[in-house]
Structure 1
Amino acid sequence: MGESMTWVQAIILGIVQGLTEFLPISSSGHLRIVSEVFFGDDAGASFTAVTQLGTELAVLVYFAKDIGRIVMAWFRGLLNEEHRDLDYRMGWYVIIATIPIGVLGFLFKDQIRTGARNLWLIATMLIVFALVIAAAEHFGKKERPIEKLTTRDGLAMGFAQCLALVPGVSRSGATSSAGLFLGLSREAAVRFSFLLAIPAVTASGLFSLPDAFEPAGEGLNASGAQLLVATVVAFVLGYASIAWLLKFVVNHSLYWFVGYRIILGVGVLALLATGVVSAT
C-alpha cells in the first residue's frame, strides 16, 4: 500500500494537470515526473485519469456552443439527408476517430498503468516525439481550415491519439502533428484535437474512478476530497490554457514546445543516469 497524498501534493499535481493537458508536452508525463522528482513517488495512472476529467470539463464548457451545435446537427442529419452539413460530419469524425483508442486503451490498460510509466520511457518519448512535432511543423502545409476536414483526417488523427496512451507522447501533440502532416492549419488541427479528446479522456477518467478512490497499489494515494480539489484546480487552469493555446497557435509555431520537450527529456535522463530519481 502506498503513502497517503498530502494536500500540497494534490494541489500541485492539479495545477500541473491543468497547465499541461492541452499543451503538446504530455500532461501524464509531467505528472509522473513532478510526483517522482519532488515527492519521491508516483501519483498513479488513476489519479492522472481522474484529474483529466477536470480538464475535459473545461473543454466541454469552452466549446459548449460548438459541441451543442455538432450534437444537434448529428441527430438532425441521421433523420434527414438535407441536414448533413459540416457539423453532422464532424460528429461522425469524432465518433469514428475515438474507436481506435477505445479498443487499444481497453486491451492494454494494465501495461498503461505499470510499465508505460517508467521514467526512462517517458523521457525518451518526450525527446523522440519532439522531433515528430518539429517534422510536422516543417513539412505540413498548414493550408486547410477545419471546414475542409475529411473522414481520412479524422481517422488518421484518431490513430495518432492512440500514441498518447504512452506517457511522454502528448495527446494534443500526437493529434495536432497528424493534422499538420495532413495539411490542416494549426488552429484547425488543435481545435479538432480538443474535440477528439473529449470521449476518450472522459471514458478513461470515469473508468478509473473506482481505482482512484480505492487505491490498492504502490504510489501516492489521494483521498476523495483531494481528488475533487485537484480536479477543480485542473478545470480552472485547463480552461485558461485552452484559450491561451488557441490564440497562440494562430501566430506562433509548435517549435516553442519542441525545445521545451527536448530540454525536459534530457534533464530527466540526466537525473536517472546519475541515480537522483528512480525510473519506477
Structure 2
Amino acid sequence: MDWLQVAVLAVVQGLTEFLPISSSAHLILVPVLTHWDDQGLAFDVALHIGSLSAVLIYFRKEIGRMLVNGLKAVSGHGINEDARLMIWIVIATIPVCLVGFLLKDVISHYMRSTLIIGASLIVFGVVLGYADWRNRGTRSEYQMTWKDALIIGAAQVLALIPGTSRSGITITAALLTGMSREGASRFSFLLSIPVIVLAGGLETITLLQSPQAIDGPAMIAGILLSGISAYLCIHYFLAIIKKLGMQPFVIYRVLFGAWLLWFFHF
C-alpha cells in the first residue's frame, strides 16, 4: 500500500463510521473507483482499532460511569441510570450478533453489489429523513426503556446490508421511539463499541490464522488517521445536528445512491 491509499482509506473509515452515510458503502467503493488493490485484513483491523479508540476516548467519562455502576449493580447495590444504560446497550447488541453470525457468509457473498448499496443508501436515507422530520422527541439516552433498546437493536440488524449505515439505522429507530437527535446519536455511538469490538475481534482471529504479511508503519498510520478523523467526526456531528438536523446527510445519501445506480447500472 502506498501512503495515499493509507491516508484515503483511514480518513474515509474514520469519517463514515459514525456519520449516517454508510462506512461499508464507501470502503467497498473506494477500491472500485480508484482501482487500488485490496488493502488486506490487517489494515481493516487497524482501521477498526482507530475508530474504536476514538469513541472510547470521546465517551470515556460515560463509559467509566457505566462500568463502575454496572459492577455495583452486579454486587447488589441497585441499578442507577448509568448501569441501566449499559444494560440497554447489551440488549440492543444481541440481535445483530445473532443474525450476523448466522448470515455472515450470505452477506459477504451476495449482498455487496453496487445495486444493493445504491438502493440501500436511498431507501434508508429517505426513512432517516422522515424520522428526523417528524421527530419531536426530547428524551436522552438515559431516559430509554427496554422496549426502545429492543427496537433499536432490531433495527441495527438492517445495518448488515451494505449501504444501510449502522449509525444511520440506529439513529432512525431511536428518533422514531421519541428520542432527541442528540440522545439518539449518542446512544448510537455508544452502541457502536461492542459491535466494533466483536467485528474487530473476529477479523483479528482470522488474521492470526493467516500467513498474511503485516505492514507495521501502514497499520500505525491507519490507526492514528482513522482515530483522529473519527473523533473529530463525532464531535462536530453532535454540534451540527443541533442546528441542521439529519437532512444534509439524507440529501447526500440520496444523491450518492442515485449516482451509484446511474454510474454502474445505466
> Same fold judged by TM-score > 0.5?
yes
The residue aligned with 2:142 is 147
Q: Identify which of 156, 167, 171 aligns with 2:166.
A: 171
| Contact residue 115 and residue 265 of structure 2 kept, 8 A | no
Q: Distance in 1 between matches of 2:22 and 2:7?
A: 18
**Partner letter of residue 49 of structure 2?**
L
Q: Identify which of 248, 251, 256 aligns with 1:259.
A: 251
**Partner letter of residue 252 of structure 1?**
L
**Partner letter of residue 34 of structure 2?**
F
Q: Distance in 2 between matches of 1:15 and 1:84?
A: 39
Deviation of 1:54 after TM superposition, in Å, equals: 1.2
**Partner letter of residue 193 of structure 1?**
S
Q: Distance in 2 between matches of 1:15 and 1:214?
A: 28
Deviation of 1:222 after TM superposition, in Å, equals: 7.5
**Partner letter of residue 69 of structure 1?**
R
Number of aligned residue pairs: give it: 266
Q: Distance in 1 between matches of 2:241 and 2:34?
A: 31
Change (3 A) 1:163 1:41: farther
**Partner letter of residue 239 of structure 2?**
K
Deviation of 1:232 after TM superposition, in Å, equals: 2.1
Change (3 A) 1:265 1:205: same
Q: Identify which of 234, 239, 255 aligns with 2:226.
A: 234
Q: Distance in 2 between matches of 1:89 and 1:123?
A: 37
| Contact residue 141 and residue 184 of structure 2 kept, 8 A | yes
Q: Distance in 1 between matches of 2:152 and 2:42?
A: 25
Deviation of 1:48 after TM superposition, in Å, equals: 4.5
Paired residues for 1:175-194 under 5 Å: 175-194=170-189
The residue aligned with 1:86 is 81
| Contact residue 118 and residue 258 of structure 2 kept, 8 A | yes
Paired residues for 1:71-110 under 5 Å: 71-81=67-77, 83-110=78-105
Deviation of 1:271 after TM superposition, in Å, equals: 1.3
- Secondary structure at the aligned position of 1:160 is classed as helix
**Partner letter of residue 115 of structure 1?**
Y
- Secondary structure at the aligned position of 2:8 is classed as helix
Paired residues for 1:217-232 under 5 Å: 223-232=215-224
Q: Deviations over 1:202-255 (max 9, x none)?
A: 1101211244577799xxx97454334223211110011111111112222101
Change (3 A) 1:160 1:189: same
- Secondary structure at the aligned position of 2:126 is classed as helix
Q: Distance in 1 between matches of 2:6 and 2:18?
A: 20
Q: Identify which of 244, 249, 258 aligns with 2:241.
A: 249
Structure 1: which 5+ residue stretches go unaligned? 275-280
The residue aligned with 2:108 is 113
Change (3 A) 1:40 1:121: farther
Change (3 A) 1:241 1:79: same
Structure 2: which 5+ residue stretches go unaligned? none
The residue aligned with 1:21 is 17
**Partner letter of residue 159 of structure 2?**
A
Q: State, as a whole percentage, how many aligned pairs show the same letter.
A: 37
Answering whether residue 164 of structure 2 is matched by residue 202 of structure 1, we say no
**Partner letter of residue 260 of structure 1?**
Y
Q: Distance in 2 between matches of 1:260 and 1:214?
A: 39
Q: Distance in 2 between matches of 1:181 and 1:111?
A: 29
TM-score when scaled to structure 1?
0.87
Q: How big is the alpha-carbon RMSD for the aligned residues of Structure 1 and Structure 2?
A: 2.3
